[in-house]
Amino acid sequence: MMDHTQETPAKAAILDAALPHVAFDGWSDEALTRAAEEAGVSLAEARALFSRGAVDLALAFHARGDAKMQAALAEAELEEMRYSDRIAHAVRLRLEAIEGDREAVRRAASLFALPQNAAAGAGAVWGTADAIWRAMGDTSEDLNWYSKRATLSAVYSATLLYWLGDESAGHEATWAFLDRRIADVMRVEKLKAGLRKNPLTKGLIAGPEWLASRVRAPRSTPPADMPGHVSKP
């Protein structure tokens, strides 16, 4: 499976040239063909770099956004923030990384909504969630590894769709929406903590949590379009 996290000069040139066309042609083979020509890359090389055509091109665009977010997170003073605020800040940085390409993002959302591309889209979002958790220093290996990424994937996806339709000044409505989604997650976590402490209910979750403790995060790198994929920094 192709590694979309490594942006070579040729891939970068093609992606840069493709973005203006995507607004009109969508993430399509036509956009890829035009971009290769404008970037001075042969069509044969372009198809080798993006073997699945438009899907791989859109995944490269998504990976670029992740890379920008990771670079911004590396400079952020996360230690001074509450944990929930760190997550919100990371999601916000991820969306700000693609602020100038909202139409390309909208077109990508439509592309990955197609049944044949759904797995690739889910894998891309999972990779974003994984990158955020790793930036937070997450070292979980049990079911928490999966549940954290699944929950954040849902939060990110919902916030992204809200952001695409948000016309408020400075996207303030989006950031408020994001804060509410994270607050919802935190309430669930507090509820679970309360159940563990309550003598009347802790037995109800003891069995499921014991089973969960038997689950371990994957040690090898799964395919890039499948949940569980761990992107290289």
In this predicted structure, the answer to whether residue 194 has a pLDDT above a threshold of 70 is: no
In this predicted structure, the answer to whether residue 4 has a pLDDT above a threshold of 70 is: no
pLDDT band at 185 (very low <50, low <70, confident <90, very high): confident
What pLDDT score does 143 carry? 77
Please, are residues 123 and 225 in contact by the beta-carbon 8 Å criterion?
yes
User: Whole-angstrom Cα distance, residue 59 to residue 49?
Assistant: 12
pLDDT band at 83 (very low <50, low <70, confident <90, very high): confident
Please state, in angstroms and as integers, the Cα–Cα distance from residue 216 to each residue in 81, 129, 208, 212, following that order: 29, 18, 15, 9
For 65-213, the fitting CATH number among 3.20.20.140, 3.40.1710.10, 1.10.357.10, 3.10.129.10 is 1.10.357.10
On average, the pLDDT of the chain sits at: 84
User: Whole-angstrom Cα distance, residue 96 to residue 89?
Assistant: 10
pLDDT band at 223 (very low <50, low <70, confident <90, very high): very low
Hunting for tokens 């969508």 — which residue is that? 26
Other Cβ atoms less than 10 A from the Cβ of 142: the count is 15
By C-alpha distance, which of 219, 227, 67 is closest to 147? 227
User: Whole-angstrom Cα distance, residue 205 to residue 188?
Assistant: 14
pTM of the full structure: 0.82
In this predicted structure, the answer to whether residue 229 has a pLDDT above a threshold of 60 is: no
What pLDDT score does 220 carry? 44
In this predicted structure, the answer to whether residue 195 has a pLDDT above a threshold of 80 is: no
pLDDT above 70 covers a percentage of the chain that reads 78
